Structure 1
């Protein structure tokens, strides 16, 4: 059980008693919070210990919920702007009360319908959770035991630099994919699977878009097969195709593409013809109808 109520995180609390408005949950320090009726499950009993997210409602009262937000305190996520006022904007983050982003924490004025990358932070002045787009220096530095080399992680790309693309790793760590390690299109606000290349002495993370040890030819071949399977077994590309066309469809250089085609031909997985490349029937993941 949590000793204290921790705003913006999941708390493990004991069900102390029932009221007309819901269940009262208590920490080991006798701090209490209400779990409103709409979140109560038939299985919940007095004395049980449950996990709940704690935040403030529309009247700034501390409340508990069994729902999980898109991001918790210190985490970063892509959220949609649902309302804008003279003081700031409100973003949907998966809870009944939207996350407020004050104007001073916006890089550019937010508009309704925008999808923006924000970090959930604690505002010392209002004692509330708020969102901020200014989070570069607040991202967590990884310790040697936090993540492992070659571990698969989820990244959210948030900026392009001269070195490469900056990304938030697992919603909270600072990461970078170097341009020299990129063999596919990358976009700001895009979520991808990446792999830990190394954790530097300063805690920043170098990332790869493929597992360590897997050659670029293997990655290219996998992309071609996946593309063929999604396009009913045919793609309008072959050895003579224009480099820009190859890059647009597959995100591959012409050199990598041709080497991957040869690899797949040798493995008997494809046929290359004048009008394109075909996936042999036995390689298809699903039945292709004529």
Structure 2
């Protein structure tokens, strides 16, 4: 997300194209989590390992696109320090979410993670000094209640591990707040490259230490089968392709129009969770998901009313 505002001259056809791209990207991006869950459960890879490969693939796939679109100058940034911090936060978010998938159903983890837009709203007031009214503050609070409804049964079984999707959401929300600042002097594609390389290197360094200390989440357990290698590659490619599609969608259509379609992700996650793992949320979790989605949509509608349609890059 970025803070800059642009004037739109898009045709209705381009707006519809952006909406279609957003829906498609939100529907298939949970495949990244499907592959990640398979890798950390069935194939017993560590969450750090999956996150590291996923981020390196993002950087390596996006790098030639940057050179093709903008040349060597495309990687320039006016905020190198903040780009490094973004990469570290993305690494933390990645390992936290993939670790959560080891314990929790896909739909549950995804639903809790989707409080991230609400956290961004809160952080925008704290760190960017944006004004948010009491209605949006109330919506954020209600959204967290929905997350707690989903977390509660898992907390009884897994303890603090069930809070990992929430940790991932906080890390990614901070990452997006920094992205608003960094985007003023760095292209969206370059931001993906910087975050991918920094995050991948950070996880590799953490694993070098964690493996020696016997930390399961940061251990090296390289794939022993062709299937595991294929799943690793697919996770990286799906994650990168999804984010590139998000960028394209936001270039075609205002964020205030696209934002609600992001919740297609939870519908897709429920479907994939059932097809691949036989998981279906119980009644209480359905209620929690509805609360989170409803709170998020309320925040987006309030944002649209107060600021109008603005062109905002997606998460990179």
Larger radius of gyration: 1
Larger helix proportion, structure 1 or 2?
2
Larger strand proportion, structure 1 or 2?
1
- Give the TM-score category using the shorter length: under 0.3
TM-score w.r.t. the length of structure 2 is 0.18
Q: Which structure would you say has the larger RCO, counting Cα contacts within 8 Å and 6 or more residues apart? A: 2
